[in-house]
Amino acid sequence: MCHQLYCLCIPPRFHLKPRANIHVSSMWRFALIVTLASAAVPTVFAWGDGLAHPVIGELAQTLLSAKGRQLVESLVDPKYEGSLGGQTCNWADYWRFNHRNTGPWHFVDMNATPPSKCGYSPEDCADGNCIIGALTAQTYQLLNTKCEKSINNTHALQFIAHFIGDVTQPLHTVGRDIGGNSDHVKFDGRTTNFHAIHDAHIPDKRAEEVGAGKDARAYAGFLANLYGSKAEIYASRKYVDLVAMDTYGNLKAAINMAVDSNVLDCSSTGFWNLYDEDPAQDFGKTYYEVVKLPLEEQIAKLAAWINAIADQCLNDYSSTANASPQSPAVPIIVPQNRQVDWATPSARNWKLRRALAPN
């Protein structure tokens, strides 16, 4: 079952179908199984299972070009009503729980030791089995098929809509302490972990602060007024060059977005530096005030990526900094089909081991 801020995943063997004639002793056994399962399965947070991803989608929807809007309307699952808003950008998290091989696609464990050292090395995603490789693969799933209507392309677009949200969250681009998941902290008096406060608690508190409450569209409207002017920056070659790749076939534009997030991990005025100063502090106070704007500013990058894909699929290269129509197609890179090198930093991460574990 999924709560607004977290998902509690019960393994399939514990999904028992209730029966009308169940005996009391059976009911006790059922209660015991569910209790044990709940205790054994960790709470899993993602970059805003509740509010943050819908806000990113609503903001992107307001910044889409006409062709970008046409692409979204054509490909997103009909239940999402032709929009990146609502739950569209949360889809990849729901998909992950029954498709564990996609778990590593939500993060990249850069070989960094923040706050003293940050930065990306191509070896951090050499096998493509990270968020950078996944963004590359899903983008080329669309480009190599000219964005034709298909279930694969619907999934590709919805993966991208989610992954660009994840890659702009700094704790998704660093391996320290399992991306902060193992660091227990307080936020406004509530016990949580360092990763979760960036995924959920900070954006939720910020939405309340600006008067949006739990309304993702209202919060997105506030952000559009605040950061809409950055749309031109995020549409530059640095962020939407869908051709240039590193030596392992990962898009450099995806790497640049991840690096932007990872730089914050080494910020001298926030994030891990402030954590190390006082891990026992209440992170809903001074820490929140310091990081809320840098964290918030990262989330306006989705529309530019979708617009760039739409321009290429519709053979309109005049408004994007990408390849010419004569550029050869690049083979689709499919991370889930690659062999995992268990010596890599990402393979040592418990999230990857858990994601690849058999059901």
49 confidence band (pLDDT: 50, 70, 90): low
SS (H, E, C) 88-149: HHHHHHHHHCCCHHHHHHHCCCCCCECCCECCCCHHHHCCCCCHHHHHHHHHHHHHCCCCCC
Helix (H, G, I), strand (E, B) or coil at 23: coil
The structural domains of the chain, with segments of one domain joined by +, span 1-43, 52-356
State pTM to two decimals.
0.77
**pLDDT grade for 39, boundaries at 50, 70 and 90:** very low
Residue range 9-30: average pLDDT?
A: 30
CA distance 283 to 272: 12
* Token code pair at residue 328: 């050869």
86-91 contacts: CB < 8 A, separation 24 or more?
86/54, 86/57, 86/216, 87/54, 88/54, 88/57, 88/158, 88/161, 89/53, 89/54, 89/56, 89/57, 89/158, 89/161, 89/162, 89/165, 89/302, 90/49, 90/53, 90/54, 90/162, 91/158, 91/161, 91/162
Q: Are 205 and 198 in contact (CB under 8 A)?
A: no
Instruction: Indicate the length of the chain as a whole number.
Output: 359
CATH superfamily placement of domain 52-356: P1 Nuclease (1.10.575.10)
Instruction: Report DSSP state, residue 193.
Output: E
Across residues 324-334, what is the average pLDDT? 37
At residue 74, does pLDDT exceed 70?
yes
Please compute the mean of the pLDDT values over residues 132-152 and round it to a whole number.
Answer: 96
Helix 286-297 and helix 252-265, axial crossing angle in degrees, nearest 10: 170
**Does the pLDDT of residue 58 top 90, yes or no?**
yes
Question: Could you read off the pLDDT of 84-125 as tens digits, one per residue?
Answer: 999 999 999 999 999 999 999 999 999 778 999 999 999 999
Q: What is the pLDDT of residue 328?
A: 34
